[in-house]
Structure 1
Amino acid sequence: MTKNIVVIPGDGIGKEITTAAVNVLKKIASKYNWQLNFSYYDAGGTAYDKSGVPLPDETLAAAKAADAVLFGAVGGDKWDDVAPALRPEKAILGLRQGLGLYANLRPVKAMETLLEYSPLKPSIIRGTDILIVRELIGGIYFGERCESEEYKGTTRAWDLENYSIPEVERIVALALTTARSRKGRVTSVDKANVLATSRLWRKTAAETAKKYSNVQLDNMYVDNCSMQLAINPTRFDVIVTSNLFGDILSDEAAVLSGSIGLMPSASIGERTSLYEPIHGSAPDIAGKGIANPLGTILSAAMLLRHSFSAEAAAADIEIAVQKALADGYRTADIYSPEFKKADTLQMTQAVIDNIG
C-alpha cells in the first residue's frame, strides 16, 4: 500500500504531537511493509505570520490531493488581536468547507487503566464506549447571521439555523452504517419539542433508519442527553446530532474519560478526511516537550481505519496505547507519583515499543 498523508502541525504543541503520531505511523508502515509519504504544510497562526492568511491556498490544495490529513491544533494568545476573518481558527473552518468535511466522529471510551481520572464514579463510567457523530458543515454555525440591527426600537442580533433533508439523511446514514460494526444502536439527539429544524431532523432520521433493519434508532432531547451522559453513559452506543448540539455534547463527553489529551477525532469528507486531537494548541507548554501525544496518536489510528480501511493496523495502535498506559507511563496531565512520568518523546516511544 502506498498512501500520501498531508501533515498540518499548526500552532503551539502542534508540531510536537503530530511528530509523535507520524513516528507511530512510520512504525506501522514498517510492520506492514507500506509506503507512507508525509508532506508538511502550514495553517493557523503560523501560516498567518508567514503569509498573512490562516489557510494558504497551497495548504488547501495539498489537502485536497492527499489520501488523508493529519492535523495538530491552531490558535493562541499571540493572535488574539488579529481581525476575525484572519484568526487562526479560520484555518480549520476553511478546511472543513474546502474538503467537504460533513461529519465529525468522536469516540469516547473509558479505559480501565484511567478510570480514576474520570470525574464520574468508576461504577458509572466503566464500560463506556460511545461514538458521537456530529454534522459539521450545516446548521446555525453556517447559516445567515446579523450581529447588529435595529428592530422595534432596540438593537438585536440573530443567527439562522436550517437543515435540508439531504443533509440530515447523509449524516444519519453514516451513523447507522457505523453502528452496524458496533452494538447496533443509534440515538438521534434533537430538540423537536421546540425547534422546527429538529422536527425535520427527527422525521428524516426515522425515514432513513427504515433502510437499516439491523440497527435500532431512538430519539432523545438534547437536554436529557446531556444529563444521561453524566449519570448513565453506558446506555449509549452511537449518538448522531446537529452541528450545535454535537459541539456541546462532544465536549461534555470528552471529559468522561479523564483527560482531553487522550481524545481523538475524525472529520469525514466528500474528498479527503481529516484527523486531529480535540484539545487546543496549549501555547503555555509549547516547546517544553511535555504535551500528551496520545490524542493525536489515536487520531492516527482513526486515519488508518476510516481512510485506509486498515482495521488491524488501527487496532495495533489502540492496543499499544492501552499497553503503554498499563505499563504505568503517564504524561504530566495524568501523572501521579505511583506512575512513570513521561515526556512527549518517552510516551511516544512506549507506544512504539508495544507495536509488535
Structure 2
Amino acid sequence: MAFELANSRLRKHLTIIHKSNVLSITDGLFRETVRAVPSLPAISGKYDGVTIAEQLVDSAVYRLFREPEIFDVMVAPNLYGDILSDAAAALVGSLGLIPSINAGDKFVMGEPVHGSAPDIEGKGIANPLASIRSAALMLRHLGYTKGADRLDVAVDQVIREGKVLTPDLKGTSTTKEVLHAVLGKL
C-alpha cells in the first residue's frame, strides 16, 4: 500500500520509519521487508521510480517539525505511525483535522487519527473534519476520486473561512454546526 501511494504521488518518495538500531530483530525485519517489496517477482519493476529513504523514529519526529517538506509517504509500524500522526497534527493545528484509513487487500476503514475521543463524547465540541476527511480518503481508495475531491474542497473552504470552527481550532462552533457548514459547501 505504501509503495502504491508513493508511486501515485509526484515525488514518488517513500520513507521507512523504524528503530532497528535498538530493535534489531522486529524493526530490522520490518525495514528489510519493506525494502524487499520492489523486487518481488509479481511486481518487479512496478516501483522502480520510487525513491526509498529511511529514518529512525525519534529523528523522524524531530525532522517532521524542522523539515516537514522532506517527507512525502511514510511507512511505519503501528506504534510509530501513531506517534508521527499525532506529531503531524501539531503542525497543522489540531488532532481534529487529521484523517486516516486502515487498508488491506479486502477492506478499508476510515477513522480520525484521534480515534473516538471518548473524553469529549456528547459535549458537541468534537471536530468532525478528521472524520469527513477520513471518508474522503476511503472514497479515494475505492476509486471515487470526484466525491473525495468534493469533500476535501468543502472542508478546505470551511477552514479557510474560519467562521465555523470547533474549540480545538480556537472557534466556538459545535460539532453539528461545523458538519452543516461542510454540507453547505457541498
Assess same fold via TM > 0.5: yes
**Which residues in structure 2 correspond to 1:150-161 (within 5 Å)?**
none
- 1:238/1:289 CA distance change after superposition, 3 Å: same
Q: Are 2:127 and 2:175, in contact at CA under 8 Å, matched by a contact in 1?
A: yes
Unaligned 5+ segments in structure 2 are 40-44
**Which residues in structure 2 correspond to 1:209-248 (within 5 Å)?**
209-210=38-39, 211=45, 212-248=47-83
Counterpart of 2:160 in structure 1 is: 326
Q: CA deviation at 1:333?
A: 1.6
Query: Secondary structure of 2:8's partner?
Result: coil
Q: CA deviation at 1:280?
A: 4.4
- Is structure 2 residue 106 aligned with structure 1 residue 279? no
Question: Within 2, Cα distance between the matches of 1:335 and 1:316?
Answer: 25
Q: CA deviation at 1:288?
A: 3.2
**CA offsets, 1:105-163, max 9 Å, x none?**
xxxxxxxxxxxxxxxxxxxxxxxxxxxxxxxxxxxxxxxxxxxxxxxxxxxxxxxxxxx
Counterpart of 1:317 in structure 2 is: 151
Select the residue among 288, 295, 298 that pairs with 2:133: 298
- Is structure 2 residue 179 aligned with structure 1 residue 352? no
Select the residue among 124, 128, 142 that pairs with 1:289: 124
- Is structure 2 residue 6 aligned with structure 1 residue 179? yes
- 1:206/1:279 CA distance change after superposition, 3 Å: closer
- Higher share of residues assigned helix: 2
| RMSD over equivalenced CA pairs, Å | 1.9
Task: Tell me the number of residue pairs that the alignment of Structure 1 and Structure 2 aligns.
Answer: 177
**CA offsets, 1:10-56, max 9 Å, x none?**
xxxxxxxxxxxxxxxxxxxxxxxxxxxxxxxxxxxxxxxxxxxxxxx
- Is structure 2 residue 29 aligned with structure 1 residue 200? yes
Q: CA deviation at 1:254?
A: 2.5
Unaligned 5+ segments in structure 1 are 1-173
Q: Are 1:190 and 1:242, in contact at CA under 8 Å, matched by a contact in 2?
A: yes
Query: Secondary structure of 1:274's partner?
Result: strand
Q: Structure 2 length as normaliser, TM-score? A: 0.85
Question: Within 2, Cα distance between the matches of 1:199 and 1:240?
Answer: 14
Query: Secondary structure of 2:52's partner?
Result: strand
Query: Secondary structure of 1:180's partner?
Result: helix
Question: Within 2, Cα distance between the matches of 1:244 and 1:344?
Answer: 29
Query: Secondary structure of 2:125's partner?
Result: coil
Question: Within 2, Cα distance between the matches of 1:285 and 1:318?
Answer: 25
Greater RCO (Cα-Cα under 8 Å, separation 6 or more): 1
Q: Are 1:276 and 1:299, in contact at CA under 8 Å, matched by a contact in 2?
A: yes
Q: CA deviation at 1:266?
A: 0.5
Question: Within 1, Cα distance between the matches of 2:96 and 2:66?
Answer: 23
Q: Structure 1 length as normaliser, TM-score? A: 0.46
Counterpart of 2:42 in structure 1 is: none
Query: Secondary structure of 1:214's partner?
Result: coil
Identity of aligned residues (%): 41
Amino acid at match of 2:26: T
- Is structure 2 residue 19 aligned with structure 1 residue 188? no
- Is structure 2 residue 98 aligned with structure 1 residue 263? yes
Q: CA deviation at 1:282?
A: 4.0
Q: CA deviation at 1:197?
A: 2.7
Question: Within 2, Cα distance between the matches of 1:198 and 1:281?
Answer: 28
Question: Within 1, Cα distance between the matches of 2:117 and 2:27?
Answer: 35
Amino acid at match of 1:350: A
Q: CA deviation at 1:250?
A: 2.4
Amino acid at match of 1:181: S
- 1:284/1:175 CA distance change after superposition, 3 Å: closer
Q: CA deviation at 1:257?
A: 1.2
